[in-house]
Amino acid sequence: MLRTRQISQVIKVTSCSTTNVDAPLSSVLTPTFWVQKNLSFSHRSQEQTRSRGHIFLKRMVKAIRVYEHGGPEVLKWEDVELGEPREGEIRVKNKAIGLNFIDVYFRKGVYKPATMPFTPGAEAVGEVTAVGPGITGRKVGDLVAFCYMGSYTEEQIISADKAIPVPPSLDPSIVASVLSKGMTVQYLVRRTFKVESGHTVLVHAAAGGVGSLLCQWANALGATVIGTVSTKEKAAQAKEDGCHHVILYTEEDFVARVNEITSDSGVEVVYDSVGIDTFQGSLACLKPRGYMVSFGQSSGTPDPVPLSALAAKSLFLTRPSLKFYKPTRDELLETAGEVFANVASGILRVRVNHSYPLSEIAQAHADLENRRTSGSVVLIP
């Protein structure tokens, strides 16, 4: 909504504490706010506040806010105030935002946000619009990607050490669709369990955002890939993405089908992000000393597992999380670099199957959690 005001005098105030050794000073002295007397001003992203006879214009941006946990209707599109980046921080104007199932968990309260109300969203790609004091190596105009809470917004402030430079050859929508999902797949197939030629792997929700990339990467590593999906359309996509066998787990008994495909020997590893609906069956699909990688719960959290369930076949069980696989800046850049390289080389074909305006986020959430999406979903602020 545009607001029009009358201006008679405007005094520009800039923040002179901002430094960046990599950028010319003029580019980092961004106007932080304006002090006005007698207004006439037209600017949607700024709002007035009074102090000592002056009127300060705050930087306002549109963002999604959640005041209470619940369904997609709790996602509110609002004006919020954005401050200035402090030491170690940068401000980024988002160009594309990745939608992830973790956003649904936070909205519903399965995962607890640090504060209420909060802005959901876990990743985005955008252009740096300001840098805080002491920042080196980042400058205004840089295109960066990041996994950072609060990305459902036109503009946000993040820690500079979480910003990943985006290769100029990659489109922001592609990067927002692949960054966190691709880094998740990187650790799943290369570190949680090292997929190798000769292995047979089972991937649930094989046509989903993570699933699509997981099947492609596991195939590229030489594994035989079995994927489960809910519809024939998703089955066709999973085939294209490298699944040697696709099971419609909404119609078929996936355990019986895996036994049939593997001649009753089972699979080395199951990548299970579906949770309660598939967990027990996944254990049954494993061969002795197999790896049960339970990395999500799109259908609900699995029940506690007694040790006896693992002892039956001497199984390994892990519940990994991306944040523990990129704790240092070096690991973050290395992991992202491997993902970008695989996109550039064509090992990963990123499916940006759905795009929504950020203001229509409620519809995007409803579609994701009702299994109406495949591949990646991107939000445009």
Ligand X SMILES: NC(=O)c1ccc[n+]([C@@H]2O[C@H](COP(=O)([O-])OP(=O)(O)OC[C@H]3O[C@@H](n4cnc5c(N)ncnc54)[C@H](OP(=O)(O)O)[C@@H]3O)[C@@H](O)[C@H]2O)c1
Residue 97 near residue 151, CB atoms below 8 Å: yes
CB atoms within 10 A of CB 166: 24
> Given the complex with ligand X, which of 37 and 372 has the nearer CB atom?
372
3-state SS of 172-188 is HHHHHHHHHHHHHHHHH
Q: CB-wise, 87 or 251, nearer to ligand X?
A: 251
The smaller minimum CB distance to ligand X, of residues 35 and 248, is found at 248
CB of 180 to ligand X, least distance (A): 6
- What residue ranges bind ligand X (CB under 6 A)? 100-102, 181, 184, 205, 207-211, 229-230, 234, 273-274, 277, 295-299, 320-322, 368-369, 371, 373
User: Token digits for 289?
Assistant: 């000393």
**Shortest gap between Cβ of 237 and ligand X (angstroms)?**
10
Closest-approach residue to ligand X (CB) = 208
CB of 336 to ligand X, least distance (A): 14
Instruction: Return phi, psi of residue 38, to 5°.
Output: 50, 95
| Collapsed DSSP state (helix, strand, coil) of residue 152 | coil
**Cβ neighbours around 51 below 10 Å, total:** 8
CB of 321 to ligand X, least distance (A): 5
Question: Is 163 or 185 the residue whose CB approaches ligand X more closely?
Answer: 185
How many contiguous H segments (helices) and E segments (strands) does the chain have?
A: 10, 18
Q: How many other C-beta atoms lie within 10 A of the C-beta of residue 323?
A: 8
Please say which residue, 34 or 279, places its beta carbon nearer to ligand X. Answer: 279
Single-letter code of the amino acid located at 152: Y
Residue 104 Cβ, how far from ligand X at the closest point, in Å? 8
What is the closest distance, in whole angstroms, from the C-beta atom of residue 183 to ligand X in the complex? 8
Q: Which is nearer to ligand X, 248 or 347 (CB)?
A: 248
Q: What is the rounded CA–CA span in Å between residue 155 and residue 381? A: 9
